[in-house]
Structure 1
Amino acid sequence: MSTIKAQFDLQTRLYNNVLEGINDVESNERASQTVNHIKWLAGHLLTTRQGLSQFGGLPEDNSLDEFFGHGNGIDESKNYPPLALIQKRWNEISDKISQGLGRLTPAALSGQSPAKTPIGDDTLEGFLGFLMHHEAYHIGQIGILRKYLGKEAMGYQ
């Protein structure tokens, strides 16, 4: 579990790093009609992470699900919330969730996963491991879109 928590904490920081210097107008720009924009990716990551709110003792906030919830693709007709709000919410919940993840017992981690994942491990630990992959995947996509916008590469510090 210490590896998953370390990944969680790293990705909390990388999410902020990859969004650094991107304004709201830029966050809505798409590289093509088949590529999500940065704002959608950032919001999708937030709504996925909000699903872990229970581990931080937080109520799950579903207020942005209409934009970014599971199964919702990008919709050009929607007026998406500001990137700054999405990032603020990410930062508000991440520390508490991290603390909660650090308190998970081996028994809890070996318990049943709340959802199926493609990795074939139906435990909570397997589920959390897949979510860390999911976050890294989308942070990487935002990193590529940063370069498309002419920004410097994301930093790790």
Structure 2
Amino acid sequence: MDTAASKKLEIIIPAYRMHSQSFRNALDGITEEAALKRIDNNTNHVIWMTGNLVSCRYWIGNMLGIDDKDPYNDLFKEGRALDESLDYPTLEKLKKSFEAISPKNYQKLLTATDEDLDKAYSFGMNVPFIKENVLNMIGMCIAREDYLFGQIGLMRKLLGLKGMSYDIDKNLTY
């Protein structure tokens, strides 16, 4: 296991890596057609959920100093609501974007210092008990990913698929 420069990331890094595994497992077997289905037009579709997962990864990267831009930022920035009038990317394109940014983020997480993590970062939420800094925003992104995986897990069942597995690909190093 890789060692982080900051002990503050001892919980974040394993969660980040598990989410990289979960991303693949959650989407396994979901077709492009199924990824656009909504239940009673009241739910988000898997494409929207996946786009938000990708958006979280680019957000983390940008906070850590990576200049790469989310190619679908206009569709998903800050959890933008699903808009049926928009053309969303394919599941395959979103997977490629996730795989492009995630290893870069992982390397930045390993080298981030306490000073990097303590930098002020405004959430715009004004929650009095949460210090608005990079570390806590990364934590909020990890929590958002958890939420989105829960939504995808439910959609898997509603689409007639088995629940998400927790299989580990030992070759996935981020």
Would the aligned equivalents of 2:52 and 2:79 in 1 still touch at CA under 8 Å?
A: no
- Partner residue in 1 for 2:135: 125
DSSP 3-state at the match of 2:78: coil
Verify: 1:8 aligned to 2:9, yes or no: no
Under a length normalisation based on structure 2, what TM-score does the superposition of the two structures give?
0.82
Q: Name the Cα RMSD after superposition.
A: 1.8
Structure-1 separation of matches of 2:71 and 2:107: 23
Runs of 4+ that moved beyond 3 A: 54-58, 116-119
Greater shift, 41-50 or 68-77, is seen at: 68-77
Deviation per CA, 1:114-136: give whole Å up to 9, x if none. Answer: 43455613232111111111111
- Partner residue in 1 for 2:172: none
- Partner residue in 2 for 1:147: 157
- Partner residue in 1 for 2:48: 40
Identity %: 27
Verify: 1:72 aligned to 2:114, yes or no: no
Would the aligned equivalents of 1:5 and 1:101 in 2 still touch at CA under 8 Å?
A: yes
5+ residue gaps in structure 1? none
Q: How does 1:48-67 map to 2 (within 5 A)?
A: 48-54=56-62, 58-67=66-75
Under a length normalisation based on structure 1, what TM-score does the superposition of the two structures give?
0.90
- Partner residue in 1 for 2:3: none
Structure-2 separation of matches of 1:129 and 1:72: 19
DSSP 3-state at the match of 1:52: helix
- Partner residue in 2 for 1:98: 106
Would the aligned equivalents of 2:63 and 2:134 in 1 still touch at CA under 8 Å?
A: no
